[in-house]
Structures are given as structure tokens and as C-alpha cells.
Amino acid sequence: MQWGSVEERVIDLNNERQVNLIRSFLAKFNLTFLDRVDYTMGLFKDGQLVGTGSLAGEVLRNIAIEEHMQGEGFTAAVVSHLMQEAGRRGIFHYFIFTKPATAYLFAALGFHEVGRAEPYAALLESGMGSIDSYYREIAVAAAGLPPGKRACLVVNCNPFTLGHKAVIAKAAAENEGVIVLVVSEEGSVFPFDVRLRLVKEGLAEFHNILVVPGGKYIVSAATFPGYFTREDETVTAQTRLDATIFAQRIAPALAISSRYIGDEPYCPVTRAYNAALADILPQHGIEIRIMERIAIGGQPVSASRVRSLIREEKWDEIRPLVPDSTYRYLRSADAVPIIDKVIHNQARH
Amino acid sequence: MSGVLKTAQAGTLESGDIMITIASGPSDSGIVLELDSIVLAQYGKAISQTIRAVLTAQGITDVYIKAVDRGALDCTIKARTLTALGRAGAVLKEDLV
């Protein structure tokens, strides 16, 4: 151990020279430095950078140690440092995204595997709370659903339309119970609490549907790696990991026997996700049902169509595409700042 | 006494150390201890006992403790547990003197 000469330093993310140092160090490991990190530290020996790690929300990422210094406990030092920094920020649950071949290094540090998609990616977690405890809680809420066949849908609903409602209603008619998991990640123009509320209100008339937050384990920042894989592999890694976690962990915990998905003619990422689901879920005995989008006025109903109509402020054309509850919200004073965001935001979601 | 504790942490994951994270649990949950150790088979029971003994001596109940051990000695385990408790806002017996 050569601890005497090794020091831990905080990297100033506003200092271009320091950031470039980290960036070129990571490049040696085929890792890309993402700008969207909250905190970065470096291990220095005799003034030379020999190791680094970053924190992005509760995800520990970009962890790398100089090759000739591996196996001497430096990974533990980097991970400890990042967990302590997370603690100062009030974060006590951590994810690590890594390649399956290196997952064992973090397992020795008390991290438990959430899922893996060979040979692309593995997701591990540690700290307070776990995938098991999260879905155990949802399972308690799901105990109120009628017994029998149970379907699941994972939806973003940005915002909730009659298209979503039609697919979910079909699932409710074909199964005794339906669990709707609403994507919790804040990556959409409509904030999570609004999306969740509109889904709940839009489905209030059904007695066999449970609407709950999807949590950190489905379509989240944690299941979206992006940084260590080459671009073409990124989508494959993310979608296959997400699908595997659903099949191996979430579906058994909630007694789900089938998953309904809307077909996707436009978005290539969603299409890749659907392909991964169709490949992986049946291997675990979960049926996959691909639903066609319903059409109103000759065009398929989608949230993106509603958003582009909002941009054009064509409220009369939006009216027939969404449930009353969504329309009321869109026209309310609460929605003004969000409508403003939609108008000035051309992003995909 | 126990009161409501903040979530707090002490220790590291380096060899010979233990990382303790502590949070208040639901009332009447008692002491819920989750232990990970590289020497779980050999010393798991002894480590749990050491942590529980510190909590009991401090009169702490209804807590959730996560401990990740990397081969820490008893004195280290006690020290890390006490520090985590202190950071969580528990009034330690020694402080009252």
C-alpha cells in the first residue's frame, strides 16, 4: 500500500484544465466524461492523477483507477469518498453502473446487484432502501386488486391522452388486475406529480387499476448508463438492462403475468426498448402485448401530437384527444408555466 | 430515549474499516440491522452483537442500521457506531456528563 503519497482532491468542475485532465484520464479506459455530474474527485500520487470518480444524483459514475495501481484498495477509497460526499448532500442510497465483468469489485464493497444485461452492463445498489423493499411496498398496495391475471404498463404520459386510456382500458378488460407504473424520473416537460395525478384522474372510473410511481428501477437515470458504452451500444445496454430488471425483479414481486406496450412508429429509442422487451420478457414467462395506437381524426393519438398542438395553441383540436381531467388541467392557471415550457421546448419528450 | 434520528453515516469502505449508516425506523420496529461483511461467516454474529451492544447501552431503539464491514476490529466498530449515532442527532450518554 502506498497511501503516504496518495491524496484525495476535489476537482473543480468549472476549471477547464482540471476537467480536461479527468477527461483524458477516462479516455484511457474508454469512458466518456459527462458534463452532467454534480461532483468529481481525483486521487493524486506525486502530483499525477491515478484515479477518479464522480457523483451524479445518487449514481456513482466514471470510476477508474490507474491500471498498475489496481488491487490496492483505491477503488474502496474512491467509493467511500463519493458516498461521504453523497451523505453531505442528504443522499443515502447509491447506484453504480458498470460492466458485468467488473461488478464483483463493487460487490466486495457491499453493493448488491439489481440486474445485468450481458455483456453490456450491470447495475448495483447500496445504502438505505433496495429494489426488494420498494416493490414489496407496492405489492402491499396491489393486494387490493382482484385476484387473477395481472397486467402491467409502464407509462410516461406527458401528458395523459385518450390514446393511453384506450390501451390501459383494453388491459383492464383482458385481465383481472392492472398495475400502471408511471415513470418517476423528472425528464419530461410535465413534472412527475402532474403526470401521476392526470393518470390517476383519467383512470378513476376503473376499479381494477392501480396507478403507482415507477420508482428508481424503471426508465430512470440509474438504468440509463450512456457513458461507458460506445454510442451504438448505449441504447442496447440501457433497454436490455431495464427489460431484464423488470422481468427478473419487478414482475415476480408484483405477480405480473403480462406487459402491454404501445407500438411506436416514430421514436427510435422507444422502438429499441420495445424490441428489447419483446425479446427478454417472454424468456421469463411474461407475455408481451403490443397495442396499436387508436386514431382520432385520421391520425394516431399521442402525447407528442398533443404537445405540438399546444405549441400551436389549437385548443379545439386538443379537446377530443384527451380526457376531461387532462383538458381541465391544461386550461387551468396551474398549467400556465408548463404550457409556456412546452411552447419554448422542442425536445423529444 | 430515541427520538427521531436523521439519517447519518460514519466510516469508510477501506480495508480494516466499517461503514455504518443509521436511520430512524418505524415505532416498535426495534433495532433492524443489515450487515454485509467480507468475514460474515466467521465474525458476522460477533459484529452484530458489538453494534447492538452499543445501541442498547445508549438506549436507542427503533432504528434501521446498515453496516458494510471490511474486517474492522471491535474498537473500530464501536467508534464508527457511536459517531454515526452522534451525527444522527442522538444524545450520547457520554455527552450528558
Residue A78 C-beta-side C-alpha neighbours within 13 Å: 30
Q: Which helix (H) or strand (E) holds B50?
A: helix B40-57
Is residue A187 in a domain? yes
Is residue A122 in a domain? no
Residues A168 and A275 sit within 8 Å (Cβ to Cβ): no
Q: Do B12 and A87 touch (CB under 8 A)?
A: no
Handedness of CA B69, B74, B75, B77 (dihedral sign): positive
Cis peptide before A159 (omega within 30 of 0): yes
Give the total number of structural domains in chain B. Answer: 1
Is residue B2 in a domain? no
A329 and A194 fall within a common domain: yes
d(C-alpha A60, C-alpha A80), whole Å: 11
Q: Do B23 and A92 touch (CB under 8 A)?
A: yes
d(C-alpha A76, C-alpha A71), whole Å: 10
Residues in chain A: 349
Residues A209 and A181 sit within 8 Å (Cβ to Cβ): no
Is residue B39 in a domain? yes
Single residue among A91, A110, A143 that ends a domain in this structure: A91
- Domain residues for the domain of A231 are 132-343
- Neighbouring residues of A168: CB distance < 8 A, sequence distance ≥ 6: A153, A155, A178, A180, A203, A206, A209, A260
Instruction: CATH number of the domain at A161, please.
Output: 3.40.50.620
Distance from CA of B68 to the nearest CA of A (A): 6
> Considering just the CA atoms, what is the radius of gyration of chain B in Å?
12
Cβ neighbours of A79 in B, within 8 Å: 13
Q: A3, A8, A78, A83: best mutation site toward chain B, by most B Cβ within 10 Å? A: A83
| Percentage with pLDDT > 90 across chain B | 80
Burial class (CB in 10 A: 0-12, 13-18, 19+), A123: buried
Is residue A59 in a domain? yes
Nearest by CB to residue B13, choosing from A76, A90, A92, is A76
A36 and A171 fall within a common domain: no
d(C-alpha A237, C-alpha A241), whole Å: 6
- Domain residues for the domain of B69 are 8-92
Cβ neighbours of A110 in B, within 8 Å: 13, 19, 36, 68
A74 and A186 fall within a common domain: no
d(C-alpha A126, C-alpha A17), whole Å: 33
Cβ neighbours of A108 in B, within 8 Å: 38
Is residue B1 in a domain? no
The 10 Å CB-count burial string (b at 16+, else e) for A164-195 is bbbbbbbbbeebebbbbbbbbbebbbbebebb
Is residue A114 in a domain? no
A128 touches chain B (CB under 8 A): yes
Cβ neighbours of A92 in B, within 8 Å: 7, 9, 21, 23
Nearest by CB to residue B68, choosing from A87, A92, A110, is A110
The SS3 call for residue A220 is: coil
pLDDT in tens, chain A (349 residues): 456 788 999 999 999 999 999 999 999 988 877 767 899 999 999 889 999 999 988 999 889 999 888 887 899 999 999 999 999 999 999 999 888 998 999 998 999 999 998 888 899 999 998 999 999 999 999 999 999 999 999 999 999 999 999 999 999 999 999 999 999 988 788 999 999 999 999 999 999 999 999 999 988 877 765 444 445 567 888 889 999 999 999 999 999 999 999 887 777 778 888 999 999 999 999 999 999 888 888 888 989 899 999 999 999 999 999 999 999 999 999 999 999 988 887 655 5
A71 and A136 fall within a common domain: no
Is residue A96 in a domain? no
Instruction: CATH number of the domain at A64, please.
Output: 3.40.630.30
A232 and A307 fall within a common domain: yes
Say what the alpha-carbon torsion angle A154, A160, A162, A167 is, to the nearest 10 degrees.
Answer: 0
Low-confidence ranges of chain B (pLDDT < 50): 1
pLDDT (tens digit per residue) in A294-331: 888 888 898 989 999 999 999 999 999 999 999 999 99
Is residue A124 in a domain? no
Q: Which helix (H) or strand (E) holds A150?
A: strand A150-155
A146 and A294 fall within a common domain: yes
Is residue A227 in a domain? yes
Measured between CA atoms, the residue of chain B closest to residue A72 is B15
Is residue A107 in a domain? no
A226 touches chain B (CB under 8 A): no
Is residue B57 in a domain? yes
Instruction: CATH number of the domain at B48, please.
Output: 3.30.230.10
Q: Which helix (H) or strand (E) holds B54?
A: helix B40-57
The 10 Å CB-count burial string (b at 16+, else e) for A43-58 is bbbeeebbbbbbbbbb
- Cα A137 to its chain centre, rounded Å, is 19
Is residue B97 in a domain? no
Give the total number of structural domains in chain A. Answer: 2
A83 touches chain B (CB under 8 A): yes
The 10 Å CB-count burial string (b at 16+, else e) for A135-147 is beebeeebeebee
Is residue B28 in a domain? yes
A51 and A167 fall within a common domain: no
The SS3 call for residue A179 is: strand
What is the amino acid identity at position B86? G
Cβ neighbours of B24 in A, within 8 Å: none
Handedness of CA A261, A265, A267, A272 (dihedral sign): positive
A302 and A234 fall within a common domain: yes
A268 and A161 fall within a common domain: yes
- Cα B55 to its chain centre, rounded Å, is 7
10 Å Cβ neighbour count for A119?
Answer: 11
| Backbone dihedral region for residue A22 (phi beyond 0: left; psi -120 to 50: alpha; all else: beta) | alpha
A308 and A164 fall within a common domain: yes
Cβ neighbours of A109 in B, within 8 Å: 13, 68, 70
CB–CB contacts below 8 A, A to B: 42
Q: Do A128 and B66 touch (CB under 8 A)?
A: yes
